[in-house]
Amino acid sequence: MQDIISVVINRYNVKGQYLDHLAMNELNEYFINAIDRIKISEFINAQASKIIKETSVQLYEEQPELLRPGGNSYTTRRYSACLRDIEYYLRYSSYAIIAGHPNILDERVLDGLKDTYNSLEIPLSPTIRSIELLKEVIEESISTNNIVLNNNNILDEPFKYLIKGLI
């Protein structure tokens, strides 16, 4: 996994260039938002079980057909796999938040996921909805717990990236 620092330095190293004003601004932005990244990641770590539970409750309330015979979460095994996947999306998104770069999502989640889901006939729309719900649940919980962030986009980035990779 590379963080934004490694990504910027590697980009300039490949070109054989010194870091310019654009690179310094990109690094500066990462450091300015570091406290927000830490706050979000600490919150996700402390509340992961609650976040996953609330996300799944909302998903199955919206799409109860997933739990019915023939639904993709019908058996205990499939239901557990769904919860496991939601946990993966949450965990790797928290890594991407800290890193300030989504490349871990490609490496650990997205590479081959869409093809795998399609080959197993797992519909992508409930998966995408679960990722949207994860973000919404975290945003609501952060607000409820009076956690002040200077940059709310930090939370949006990894979830939007996951969704874009599945569409």
Q: Whole-angstrom Cα distance, residue 103 to residue 93?
A: 10
Helix axes 124-144, 153-166, angle to 10 degrees: 170
Question: CB-based contacts of 102: which residues, under 8 Å, 6+ apart?
Answer: 96, 157, 158, 161
**Calpha distance 111→109 (Å, rounded):** 6
Q: Is the dihedral of CA 80, 158, 47, 134 positive or negative?
A: negative
Two structure tokens written together for 77: 């095994």
Known binding residues for (2R,3E)-phycocyanobilin: 72, 77, 82
Report the binding-site residues. Answer: 72, 77, 82
